[in-house]
Structure 1
Amino acid sequence: MDVTELRAGGGQEYRWALPSVLLGDGLEGRPVRRSTRDWIVDVAMFLVACGITFLSLVEMKPQPEPLLAVEQVAGALACVAVWLRRRWPVALSLVTGLLSSYLELVGGASVVALFTVAVHRPFKISGPVTLLNLFTLAPYVMLRAGTDDERMSALALGVTFVLLAFAWGIVVRARRQLVWSLRQRADSAAEEAKRLERERIAREMHDVLAHRISMLSLHAGALEFRPDAPPDDIARAAGAIRTNAHLALQDLREVIGVLRHAGPDEGDPVPDRPQPTLADLPALVEECRQAGMDVHLHLRAGGAPESLGRNVYRIVQEALTNARKHADGAPVTVSVTGGPGEGLSAEVRNPLGVRHGARLPGAGAGLIGLTERAELAGGRLEHGPAPDGDFVVRARLPWPAQTSGEGDA
């Protein structure tokens, strides 16, 4: 199995098997499926082994017929065995290295096998195999070389071939490790980007729908609690339900439209949907008042940057939604103060009340999302009961002195 097939498969199998495919670690004795590139490299290695064997045969001194026949047969078999170098690299290197301690025509296959071990096995394996190949030069020099000069020349040539094969293999292995590391980083970065995008989408969906659905529940609960209300009140509540349902569908359509705007192969970035700012807070509070909430807004901040105003808007929106869920009928006070250089503070305070209808379901994900939003903006968020018995959501976000915004509250 090659890298292309693994990448096409994707997932955990690709990430687990990629080091083994690139480096060959731990694949001793397993069947090998060669790619086109692998076939080209294997043919080149076979030709290298055959070339070295042929040169050794040309330079070989006259030998007795039986020894020459053994040399030729062993050299031919060793060259053929090079095709097994991917499946049994260590075994092939050990066998050819030991045979090369006396047989000269096995040297070409021994060099190729050593190079394969250096590429496909870690140093704790390739190092000892290289030392063994160096030690096998001593018997060859002592038994096959004639004069002292021939021994020195044969020893120097043998050491050069062994060290060059080992060094070349180490360089190739290091490059493959670098490629694998870069791919791992790229995959990790892609997974992290996907995770962050999923969290952003989930946060956006929650911010968009939780407020609208809570408004629907509030008006529907009023109709259920007061079925004998005047016709005008019933019509007003039904109109509010219809309006909020329409707005919820519109917001949902906008979010889905943003997700569908650009595919993965398109170059244009996916734009953000239109976002509220600090200037939209009065409209939010007025909407809550029309739904029957007793909300008081104290807004003493102007000119906030759009991103800062959007974060404060979402925090206040979620806090008001929680107040409708858990303290129906209790007065709510919203205070937003701050300025450039001193930061922007938002506080939503309401007495802990008792709901008259069924409690809306919730798992605390909204407050968790608000805490994450505040931390991502470089600020902090606190929530919980205060000593005076009120429930308080308090956030403080940084507002750099040199930053100016376009929205004006």
Structure 2
Amino acid sequence: MGASVTSARLAASRRQREVPVEVATGARLRLWSRVWRYLLVLVIAIGGFSATLVAAFEAGDAVVRGSLAARLGGPEPLVVLDAAVGLAVMALLPWRRRAPVLVGVVTGLATGVSVTAAGPATLAAVSMATARDPVRLAVVGASWLTGGLLYEYLVVPSGTPLWVTVLAAVAGYAICAAIGMYVGARRELIATLYDRALTAERERSLHVAAAQAAERTRIAREMHDVLAHRISLVAMHAGGLAYRADLGRDETRQAATVIQDTARQALTELRQVLGVLRDDDTAAVEPPQPTLALLENLVEEVRAAGVEVEVASLPESGLASLPPVVSRTAYRIVQEALTNARKHAPGAPVRVAVSGRPGGLLTLEVRNRLTDAAGGAPTPGSGTGLTGLAERAGLAGGTLEHGTEPAADAGHEFVLRAWLPWEGEER
């Protein structure tokens, strides 16, 4: 658990150091991002105002008749108007994201009476172009062209050819639009990568959750198989002690010793199963799971508990060539079948038949006669053992069926059959 907590803390601190996605994609600007943009606008505006001021001093009273400067009474009032309009449109910049077209058009037209407005118009055009909308680009571009022509031919006519004025306005706006479109494309790319990262993280979380669920299911099955076998032995011997009042002291001590040893074995096997849940360096290595090669040991344990078990046959080719998964599955099926027989038909004989060959099927059959419980109440079951066996057989590529059949002489028998694939070449 210590390693998991440490990795979680490192991941949390790394996420805190990362740039928020709304900042990376430009959806929200940090303080410095806002400051340098307005500083750049201010520099461009001061440059334009300085050019206007210089032109006013050079022109003096020599203004073109009919121009705005002449109507205002000289270049000096035009300088004041230039600065006032520039400051006014600069105040519109905080709304450039809410109304990009409106702010872009107003600032573009403002350049028709104010060179100082070129700074706010530049930032408004770049911000509007990040959306990469052709209609918006055309509308704001038309306002830029109108503003340029208005200033050149009506405010301060200088005699510049029309094509030069148009080319200068189009070139300036094209540069601003190209920068804005690049910024918009970059933001979209970052947003796409972020969405992909989120999707990958969600898929990874789903895979981890599925793996955890599968591991919990596996451990639950192992615990069921291990404990059901041992606890059924304990319950059977304890039931004998409870219902047999004629047992002598030695017989009682022997039964109590069997209960003690069986309970100790159950605890040991439970620790082995739960040992895989530990993730530190002291975790024990998971022991190998039992296979069908230990069938004789399993049968002897059941016989020692007082159950008559007959093993009908074993494959002549031996069980060593069975695939490990199939062999483990077959062992658990037989173990669960014997456990169910002790639970629900105590004292009834059990017959186990194992047959098959490599390259074909491994066939398992466990049958026991259905009788009324004697010598104590039968051990209650969870009702999930046979369902778990069917799932095990299906995961191994086989099938399992169970049910009640008439016995050869009289009464009925409970029969469990399973067929598992036995890969390999026939010998």
TM-score class, shorter-chain normalisation, is 0.7 to 0.9
Given the alignment of the two structures, is residue 400 of structure 1 paired with residue 417 of structure 2, yes or no?
Answer: no
CA positional deviation for 1:392: 2.1
Give the corresponding residue for 2:40: 51
Indicate yes or no: 2:369 matched with 1:333.
Answer: no
Deviations 1:104-140, CA, capped at 9 Å, x for gaps: 323454467558xx7xxxxxxx677x75455333223
Q: What residue ranges of structure 2 are gaps of 5+ in the alignment?
A: 1-7, 53-77, 111-117, 153-164
Corresponding residue number in structure 2 for 1:188: 206
1:217 CA drift (Å)? 0.3
Letter in structure 2 aligned against 1:400: E
In structure 2, distance between residues paired with 1:90 and 1:270: 61
1:245 counterpart (253, 259, 263): 263
Q: Confirm or deny that 1:209 pairs with 2:227.
A: yes
Q: Is the 8 A contact 1:98 1:136 kept in 2?
A: yes
Query: What secondary structure does 1:275 align onto?
Result: coil
**Residues 211-238 of structure 1, C-alpha deviations (whole Å, 9 max, x = no match):** 1001100111112221213444433322
Alignment partner of 1:312 out of 316, 321, 330? 330
- 1:295 is aligned to 309
Deviation (angstroms), 1:251: 1.1
In the alignment, which residue of structure 2 is the partner of 1:277?
Answer: 291
Q: How many residue pairs end up in the alignment?
A: 356
| Residue correspondence of structure 1 range 109-258 to structure 2 within 5 A | 109-110=123-124, 113=127, 131-132=135-136, 134-145=138-149, 146=152, 147-258=165-276
Task: Tell me the equivalent position of 2:120.
Answer: 106
Amino acid aligned to 1:139: S
> Residues 111 and 172 of structure 1: is their aligned pair in 2 closer, same or farther, counting only changes over 3 Å?
farther
Contact 1:328–1:355, Cα closer than 8 Å, also in 2: yes
Structure with greater Cα Rg: 2
For residues 47 and 148 of structure 2, what CA distance do their matches in structure 1 show? 16
The reply on whether 1:68 has 2:91 as its aligned counterpart is: no
SS of alignment partner, residue 424 of structure 2: coil
Match of 2:314, SS state, is: strand
* Runs of 5+ unmatched residues, structure 1: 15-20, 33-37, 82-87, 119-125, 405-409
Corresponding position: 1:380 with 2:369: no
Taking a change above 3 Å as real, the CA distance of residues 179 and 354 of structure 1, as seen in their structure-2 partners, is same
Is it true that 1:366 corresponds to 2:370 in the alignment? no
Per the normalisation by structure 2, the TM-score is 0.71
Tell me if structure 2 keeps the 8 A contact 1:311–1:373: yes
The residue that corresponds to 2:159 in the other structure is none
Distance 2:365 2:197 in 1: 51
Distance 1:336 1:239 in 2: 33
Are 2:365 and 2:417, in contact at CA under 8 Å, matched by a contact in 1? yes
Q: Equivalent residue of 1:91, what SS? A: coil
- How far apart in 1 are the matches of 2:283 and 2:22? 37
SS at match of 2:310: strand
Distance 1:73 1:302, change over 3 A: same
Paired residue type of 1:219 = H
Q: Structure 2 vs 1, CA of residues 184 and 353 (structure 1 numbering), >3 Å: closer, same or farther?
A: same
Output the TM-score relative to the length of structure 1: 0.74
Q: Indicate if the aligned counterparts of 2:141 and 2:170 stay in contact, CA closer than 8 A.
A: no
- For residue 105 of structure 1, give the secondary structure of its aligned residue in structure 2: helix
Q: Say if 1:230 and 1:333 are closer, same or farther in 2 by CA, change over 3 A.
A: same
CA shift, 1:181, in A, is 1.4
Could you tell me how far 1:52 is from its partner in structure 2? 5.9
Q: CA RMSD in A?
A: 3.7
Q: Quote the offset at 1:49 in angstroms.
A: 5.6
Does residue 91 (structure 1) correspond to residue 93 (structure 2)? The answer is no
Report % sequence identity. 35
Secondary structure of 1:345's counterpart equals: strand
